[in-house]
Amino acid sequence: MPTGEVTRPGPITRVRVRELSGASGRDRRDDLATEEPLEIRLTAPDGARRTVAITMRTPGHDFELAAGFLHGEGLAGPGDIAAIAYCTDEDLPPEARYNTVTVRLNGPIPELPALDRHFLTSSACGVCGSASLDALRDRCRPVPRGRLELSPDLLYALPDALRRAQGVFGKTGGLHAAGLFAADGTPVAVREDVGRHNAVDKLTGWAALTGRLPLAEHVLMVSGRASYEIMQKALAAGVPVVCAVSAPSSLAVELAREFGLTLVGFLRGERCNVYAGAERVQA
């Protein structure tokens, strides 16, 4: 079914604002980070279909977001996905078609405990009721020690490198970012979104769809804090080092220590805290 003259949402929405300064004011244009829902649907060769997630996201890299979400939750890996496309089902109004992604699987829709409910997520909190550490132990193994060793100077350079790559943030000031860096600090890929977890899903999806998983020799740098959801997604992608501008949560530190991840928080200027995996940092 053709989509008609439907406008595809972009990452930036322009609005008019009244700017006040002291006792004076003026009207001007302002750029905002777009926030729109994205529904992720699964279909199987036997015709079965199911909605597994509705997340608030910044439009862009939607197929990567879907693939990354499915991989991070253990629902579908790169080899399980036959195709990803925007949905044109007849039950969908035209204005929602660029906000609905259908992932066609090579096999049946998985019957996992996670599918006993729909994942309803927001741009702020990550997956509500996300899998506990007990469930994570059933499907994820600890990250191998590997050869990755990082100098403090390399870590200190990551926040500025991430910020320079944030094109939409530069215009709106309202987006989080996740950046993937090589062992020498070279940026590999950066994704932006109103949600930290979505930005990480976009990175993971990019790696999954381009055959780069696991990301064993890479560093993940995120704006904001390091939550349990961020660490869970990094673990599923095989990323051994996660760095964050702000603090981690207690569960994020517990996950990192149990599964052999290096977790760096409060990475600002030439200071940081290493909460787990300090053996990968050459102090």
168 in the same domain as 69:
no
Looking up residue 59, the CATH number of its domain turns out to be 3.10.20.10
195 in the same domain as 97:
no
CB 118: neighbour CB atoms within 10 A? 14
Q: What is the mean pLDDT of residues 200-213?
A: 97
Q: Which of the four pLDDT bands, split at 50, 70 and 90, describes residue 135?
A: confident
Residue 116 has a pLDDT of 46
| Per-residue model confidence as pLDDT tens digits over 165-178 | 887 665 666 688 99
**Host H or E run for residue 133:** helix 133-139
* Residue 219 falls inside a structural domain: yes
**Catalytic choice (125, 128, 140, 272):** 125
267 in the same domain as 169:
yes
104 marked as part of a ligand binding site: no
Biggest CA pair distance of the chain: 66
203 marked as part of a ligand binding site: no
Average pLDDT of the residues of the chain = 87
- Any catalytic annotation for residue 125? yes
267 marked as part of a ligand binding site: yes
Counted domains in the chain: 2
156 in the same domain as 130:
no
> Which pTM does this prediction carry?
0.87
Looking up residue 222, the CATH number of its domain turns out to be 3.40.140.10
14 marked as part of a ligand binding site: no
* Residue 6 falls inside a structural domain: no
| Per-residue model confidence as pLDDT tens digits over 225-259 | 999 999 999 999 999 999 999 999 999 999 999 99
Contact 279, 145 (CB under 8 A): yes
Distance CA 145, CA 160 (A): 27
Domain of residue 191 covers: 152-280
